[in-house]
Structure 1
Amino acid sequence: MKKTIKSILALTALASAALSATAQTVTLKLHHFLPAGSFAQTMFIKPWCDKIAADSGDKLKCQIYPSMQLGGTPPQLFDQVKDGVVDITWVLPGYMAGRFPLSEVFELPFMMQSPEGTSKALWDFVHTNPNVAAEFKDVKLIALHVHGDGVFHMTKKPVNTMADLKGLKLRAPTRQTNKLLAALGATPVAMPVPQVSEALSKSVIDGALVPYEVVPAVKIQELAKFHSETDPAAPAIYTSTFMFAMNKAKYDSLPADLKKVIDDNSGMATSGMAGKAFLAADAAGKKLTEKNAHNVIPSSELQAWMKAGEQVTNDWIADVTAKGADGKKLLADAKALITKYAPK
Structure 2
Amino acid sequence: MKRLKTVILGLALAAGMQLANAADVTLRLHQMLPPQATIPSKAISAWIKKVEKDSGGSIRVQHFPSMQLGGKPPELFGQAEDGVVDIIWTVLGYTPGRFPKTEVFELPFSTGKAEAGSRAFHEYVEKYSADEFSSVKLIAAHVHGPGLFHSRDPITRLEDLKGMKVRGGSRIINIMLEQLGATPVGMPVPAVGEGLSKGVITATTIPWEVVPAFKVQQIVKNHAGFSGDKGLYTQTFALVMNKASYDKLPADLKKVIDDNSGVEVAAMFGAVMDAGDAVGLSLAQKAGNNIVTLDEAETQRWKDAAAGTREAWYKEVAQKGIDGPALAAKAAELVEKYAGK
- Answer yes or no: same fold by TM over 0.5: yes
Q: Is the 8 A contact 2:39 2:269 kept in 1?
A: no
Which of 235, 247, 272 lines up with 1:240 in the alignment?
A: 235
Classify the secondary structure of the residue corresponding to 1:262: helix
What residue is the counterpart of 2:184 in the other structure?
A: 188
CA shift for structure 1 position 3: 8.8
Q: Is the 8 A contact 1:145 1:271 kept in 2?
A: yes
| CA 206–12 in structure 1, closer or farther in 2 if over 3 Å, else same | closer
Which of 200, 211, 215 lines up with 1:219 in the alignment?
A: 215
Distance in 2 (alpha carbons) for counterparts of 1:171 and 1:237: 14
- Give yes or no for the alignment of 1:280 onto 2:275: yes
Instruction: Calculate the aligned-residue CA RMSD, in Å.
Output: 1.8
What residue is the counterpart of 1:78 in the other structure?
A: 77
Q: How many residues align?
A: 339
TM-score w.r.t. the length of structure 1 is: 0.93
Distance in 1 (alpha carbons) for counterparts of 2:10 and 2:68: 43
What residue is the counterpart of 1:320 in the other structure?
A: 317
Identity of aligned residues (%): 47
Could you tell me which runs of 5 or more consecutive residues in structure 1 were left unpaired when the two chains were aligned.
none
Quick one: which amino acid aligns to residue 247 of structure 1?
N
Classify the secondary structure of the residue corresponding to 1:141: strand
Distance in 2 (alpha carbons) for counterparts of 1:194 and 1:165: 23
Distance in 1 (alpha carbons) for counterparts of 2:229 and 2:307: 15
CA shift for structure 1 position 61: 2.1
- Give yes or no for the alignment of 1:304 onto 2:301: yes
What residue is the counterpart of 2:338 in the other structure?
A: 341
Classify the secondary structure of the residue corresponding to 2:326: helix
Q: Is the 8 A contact 1:193 1:218 kept in 2?
A: no
User: What whole-Å deviation, never above 9, does each CA across 1:276-320 have from its counterpart, x for those lacking one?
Assistant: 110101111122212112111112111111112221111111111
TM-score w.r.t. the length of structure 2 is: 0.94
What residue is the counterpart of 1:109 in the other structure?
A: 108
Q: Is the 8 A contact 1:43 1:281 kept in 2?
A: no
Quick one: which amino acid aligns to residue 147 of structure 2?
G
What residue is the counterpart of 1:20 in the other structure?
A: 20
Classify the secondary structure of the residue corresponding to 2:247: helix
User: What whole-Å deviation, never above 9, does each CA across 1:192-242 have from its counterpart, x for those lacking one?
Assistant: 0111111111111111111011112222011111111112x2421011000
- Give yes or no for the alignment of 1:331 onto 2:331: no
User: What whole-Å deviation, never above 9, does each CA across 1:135-190 have from its counterpart, x for those lacking one?
Assistant: 111111110000011121111x2111101111111111011111111111111111
Classify the secondary structure of the residue corresponding to 1:294: strand
Distance in 1 (alpha carbons) for counterparts of 2:59 and 2:297: 51
CA shift for structure 1 position 46: 0.7
Q: Is the 8 A contact 2:109 2:233 kept in 1?
A: yes
Classify the secondary structure of the residue corresponding to 2:321: coil
Quick one: which amino acid aligns to residue 19 of structure 1?
L
Classify the secondary structure of the residue corresponding to 1:58: coil
Could you tell me which runs of 5 or more consecutive residues in structure 2 were left unpaired when the two chains were aligned.
none
User: What whole-Å deviation, never above 9, does each CA across 1:69-120 have from its counterpart, x for those lacking one?
Assistant: 1111000001111111111111011011111111000000000022111111
Quick one: which amino acid aligns to residue 293 of structure 2?
V
Distance in 1 (alpha carbons) for counterparts of 2:125 and 2:69: 29
Distance in 2 (alpha carbons) for counterparts of 1:293 and 1:331: 34
What residue is the counterpart of 2:261 in the other structure?
A: 266
Distance in 2 (alpha carbons) for counterparts of 1:39 and 1:137: 28
